[in-house]
Amino acid sequence: MDVRPVRDEDVSPLADVLARAFHDDPVTCWVYGSERTRPKWTGRFFAWQLERLHPQDACWTTARREGAALWALPGRWREDGRETLRLLRQTLPGVLPRLPRVLRGLGQVEARHPSGRHLYLAVLGVDPAAQGTGVGSRLIRPGLELCDREGLPAYLETGRERNLAFYGRHGFRVLDELQLPAGPPVWFLWREPTGGPTS
C-alpha cells in the first residue's frame, strides 16, 4: 500500500473520506448533532483542515485515498484569525444550535494543548470500508518517523476509548482525560521520540 503526501487535488475527495470516517465519532456527534446534515458540515470542516495543514508537508494519504493523517508542525497547530473566520463561514450554521457549549468545550481542549515543541496529529481517519486493514498504522507511520528523526514528541486528542489501544501500540500514552460539557470524554495522548535526531 503506497502512502504519499497529500496534494491539492486530494482535498475534496479526502474531506469526504474523513467525513465518513468521523460520522459516528462521539466528539463529531457532539459538535454536529443532526445526523442528516452532519456529512455536509464535517466535510466542510475537514476540507478546511486539509487546506490549512497540507501546505506544511506533514500530511499523508494512500494511493487510493483510503484515509489521511494530518499533522501540524511544531508551533503551527493553532489556526490564525483568518483561518478561524474561514472555518466559521463554512461551518457555523451546523454548530449554531450548540454553539456556547461547543465553544466552551473546545476551549477546554485547546487549553490543555502542550506548549513545548512537538508534532500534533490533528486528524487520523480511515474510510469505514477500509478500517481494520492496517491503513491507519500505515498512515501514522511517516509522521512518527519524522518525530523520531527530529527527536520530537507527538501529541493528539481522541474522543474514542477504543482508539487508546491503537495509539498505545504506536508508543502513545494517556496524559489526561476531560469530560466535555454535556458530551463525551476526550483523551489527551503523548509519545516520546524513539532514538534521537539524525544529522
Q: For residue 199, is pLDDT > 50?
A: no
The three state secondary structure string of 99-138 is HHHHHHHHHHHHHCCCCCCCEEEEEEEECHHHCCCCHHHH
Mean pLDDT across 146-172: 97
pTM over 0.75: yes
Task: Give percent of the chain with pLDDT exceeding 90.
Answer: 80
Tens digits of residue pLDDT in 44-97: 999 999 999 999 999 999 999 999 999 999 988 887 777 778 877 888 888 887
Q: List residues bridging with 127 in a β-sheet.
A: none
pLDDT band at 198 (very low <50, low <70, confident <90, very high): very low
Instruction: Cite the beta strand spans of the chain per DSSP E.
Output: 3-5, 59-62, 67-72, 119-126, 154-158, 173-179, 185-191
What CA–CA distance (Å, rounded) separates 162 from 19? 19
Residue 3 CB-half CA count within 13 A: 18
Length of the chain: 199
Burial of 158: CB neighbours in 10 Å, binned 0-12, 13-18, 19+: buried
Beta carbons of 91 and 48 less than 8 angstroms apart: yes
Tens digits of residue pLDDT in 155-165: 999 999 999 99
Q: For residue 196, is pLDDT > 80?
A: no
